Amino acid sequence: MNSIKYFYRYLKDYKLQLFVVLAGCFISMFVVVKMPEYIADAINYLALYIAGSADKGLFNQAVMIIAIFGLISYIFGAIQNLLMSKVSGDVTESMRTDLFKKIEGLPIRFFDQSNDGDILARFTSDLDNISNTLNQSIHQIMTNIVMLGITFFMMFQYDVELSLVALSTSPIVILVAYYIIKQSQKYVTKQQKRLGALNGFGDEHFSGQKLIISTGIQDLVKDEFKVYNDELYEATFKGQLYSNLLAPVLQGLQMLTTGIVIFYGVWMTSTGRLPLAQAAGTLFLYTQYVRMIYQPLSQIAAQYTQMQLAFTGASRILEVLNEEDELDRTTVVDIDGIAGDVVLDNVSFAYDEGHNVLKNIDITVEKGAMVALVGHTGSGKTTVMNLLNRFYDVHDGMIRFDGRDIRDISLKSLRKNVGIVLQDSILFTGTIRDNIAYGRRDANQEEVEDAAKRAHIHDFVMSLEDGYDTEVSEGNAKMSVGQKQLISIARTMLVNPDLLILDEATSNVDTVTEHQIQGAMDEITKGRTSFVIAHRLKTILEADKIIVLQQGEILEEGTHQELLNAKGHYAMLYENQFVFES
């Protein structure tokens, strides 16, 4: 039912076009169903002409009407196809646009809990199935339903007794079709879910192909893929089996019903209940009526799998559309910068209820100061970053910018003033200029180059043949991990945020590149409030305050020298790292 509402949401804007299509269906199907009557008349007239009981004019007249009906059917059929193609294209475009807009408005929690391949499958296979259904299946099903209705009306108008005989096998049709359709529906739904799982597996392993090759586990990955592929094959095979089973079953029932009609018609003729002069034409007419009943049923059955795929796709897309958007409070205000302190006041947070990742965190950062967060993996460092940028909202306590709860600041203006350099740098398909100006599309060339110079990446860019016009992408970048990181830093510099978060920006590079990135970090943090999540402690020696987190709680805080003098956990971390790197 929800899937039907989803289709209606988009099709309701095309009521006029669909009305024209439906009217065209009635006209074209009327002449198609009416045509066998004139063919039957032509057969009877021809028999009478041969017997010398009628002239040839009646036969010629019937043939002329048949030709006109054929032309009418062709014209209205073409109009329907053109209109449905236009409606299908427009509706699918709107669906794809709305789905993308929805995803762009969802909170980070959705992406953290979702499979990338499964999200992509909704854009590709699910929407393709919907498009195919709109373009072909709906039109064919509409046409066949109209054809069935007109056929029933005309056959009962012609002869009630023969019509009841023609429908004698309908209970068998209903029972068989119901069982096959239910089985097909079950496996088609499984098919789409398993396709999403397979896409997710492929996406993860294609991205990590270097690691797979370097560790020599290709055969293991092939075996894992086979499990996913076999599960998809099983669901697809059974779904297709049941879907394709319906058509031959209906064809067999059509042949059986045709035989029954012919047998009964001959019996009526032999008993004098059907005039001999009309017998040939009448039996031909009713064999055509039987065909016109079972042919639409067969075609509807043939389209059922595609329809089921579309309804399943609509249901999966609705799962995304029904997700809660990332919303502001109704009382939010815009800010134009962060002029004062950043305060985390008794902050607690849990990704999953009952398992706090942060516990009663109190941090105050004065304007222009640098605070470094250190601690083992899972201590809560990255969670602090997620809360400062409102990827997630605190459960208890409050985060304040200039004394204002950040939940009372609009997300747009908040994030305009909070910049992040992630541990894993990201490049988008386009030029280097496009990537640096990604957060400020209106930046001119001079501003882009100035940001690149301050990030210590300008010289490298100018050494490339196409300079800032060099085409790059995340999957096929023409630069090292460190150079990509410097591009990310330049991107953040161009946005010029008042609060900066550096999430272990040097953890994936060598010591030489680390020195370059450190210089860029010094430049970008100068005079700006900043949080630095540090893995290599030597990069934060000049921090105004170092906070040591352990299991979500503040264990120690102070300057580098104060913490060394305290000979606590930080001193142990520093000493161990110093010995290890030596």
- Is the predicted pLDDT of residue 83 greater than 60, yes or no? yes
Q: Cα(312)–Cα(324) distance, rounded to whole angstroms? A: 21
CB 200 within 8 A of CB 118: yes
Q: Cα(83)–Cα(135) distance, rounded to whole angstroms? A: 9
Give the H/E segment covering residue 19.
helix 15-51
SS3 content of the chain, % helix, strand, coil (to 5): 70, 10, 20
- Is the predicted pLDDT of residue 345 greater than 80, yes or no? yes
pTM of the model: 0.70
DSSP states along 354-422 = T--SEEEEEEEE-TT-EEEEE-STTSSHHHHHHHHTTSS--SEEEEEETTEEGGGB-HHHHHHSEEEE-
- Structure confidence at residue 249 as a pLDDT band (50, 70, 90): confident
Q: Cα(314)–Cα(99) distance, rounded to whole angstroms? A: 11
- Structure confidence at residue 506 as a pLDDT band (50, 70, 90): low
Q: Considering only CA atoms, which of 123, 127, 132, 128 is closest in space to residue 203?
A: 123
CB 417 within 8 A of CB 338: yes
- Is the predicted pLDDT of residue 422 greater than 70, yes or no? yes
Q: Cα(330)–Cα(335) distance, rounded to whole angstroms? A: 15
- Structure confidence at residue 405 as a pLDDT band (50, 70, 90): very high
pLDDT in tens, 251-262: 788 888 888 888
pLDDT in tens, 478-489: 677 788 888 888
pLDDT at 582: 44
Token couple for 408 = 């009372």
**Three state DSSP letters for 135-167:** HHHHHHHHHHHHHHHHHHHHHHHHCHHHHHHHC
CA-CA-CA-CA dihedral for 277, 282, 287, 290, to nearest 10: -170
pLDDT in tens, 105-129: 888 888 888 877 778 888 888 888 8
Token couple for 275 = 């005039």
pLDDT in tens, 440-498: 888 899 999 998 888 888 988 899 888 999 888 766 656 777 888 888 888 888 888 89
Average of per-residue pLDDT values in the chain: 83
pLDDT at 362: 93
Q: Which residue has the higher pLDDT, 414 or 280?
A: 414
For the ranges 229-243, 274-288, 506-520, 530-544, the lowest mean pLDDT is seen at 506-520
